[in-house]
Amino acid sequence: MSRRLRRDSVRLFLDRLLEHAQGPARLTLVQIVDGTALEIRGHSKDRQAGYGFGSGRMAKGYKLHLLLDSAGAIVQWRIAPMNVNEKVMALRMVLRTDALTYVVADGEYDSNPLHRAVTSKGGQLVVPRRKTAKRLGHIRHAPGRLRSIALLEGPSPFGRDLLKTRANIERFFGNADSHSEALGELPAWVRTHRRVRTWVHAKLIINAVRISHLRSHAQVA
């Protein structure tokens, strides 16, 4: 079974299964990007795991990086060691996305390369300034970054209202951790990048089916 799971055909099947579980693809007004920690025990000998900032503290393990639409469907996702920069993973997801609208994130994602990448896909990145970047300085900034600052710090509440939709991805992570087949601390047998990715892939599919089931029952009620 482990050998079969390595095949590209099986990974493609899992991708299609996740898409089917989420329902028809649609372009929403807002997409959200963020990551969540997948911790392992500090004594683990998994050499592919990394040390980084996890759930409020330094930890060892991996991170699930998500680009989510405002309806709760996954647009792109990646697994990386905990120490890989979130902006790097966000950039990879954005470049693999066909079209974007407003992409919201926290201040950790405030970077000119990411602003340019989102703009190249027809979207606008909306992020607060990093705590260390209160002044623009003398470097040349991406037009998208200047517009993000204007949206969030100008008189109109539109940009600040957009930023509030970040709660959707926090709600997604919370729901994904709230049932018996949840994401969370990785089991002892889930080690190395390949196995972590396969395990998370299955969890995302289970969560999508669970959400679809709950929505169908809510409509009937």
Per-range mean pLDDT, top range of 118-122, 183-187, 201-205: 118-122
Q: Is the pLDDT of residue 50 over 90?
A: yes
Amino acid identity, residue 78? Answer: R
> Which of 52, 47, 136 shows the shortest CA–CA distance to 88?
52
Query: Is residue 48 within 8 Å of 81, Cβ to Cβ?
Result: yes
Residue 221 exposed, middle or buried by CB count within 10 Å (0-12, 13-18, 19+): exposed
Q: Between 38 and 221, where is the model more confident?
A: 38
Query: Is residue 29 within 8 Å of 102, Cβ to Cβ?
Result: yes
- 120-146 confidence digits (pLDDT tens): 999 999 999 987 666 676 788 999 999
Q: Is the pLDDT of residue 92 over 80?
A: yes
Taking the C-alpha atoms of residue 89 and residue 179, their distance in angstroms, rounded to an integer, is 27
DSSP code for 206: H
Share of the chain above pLDDT 90, in %: 70
Q: Is the pLDDT of residue 167 over 80?
A: yes
pLDDT score recorded for residue 42:
80
Can you say how many angstroms the Cα of residue 135 is from the centroid of all Cα atoms in its chain? 28
Mean of pLDDT over the chain: 91
Answering whether pTM is above 0.85, one says: yes
Q: What is the mean pLDDT of residues 49-66?
A: 91
pLDDT score recorded for residue 133:
62
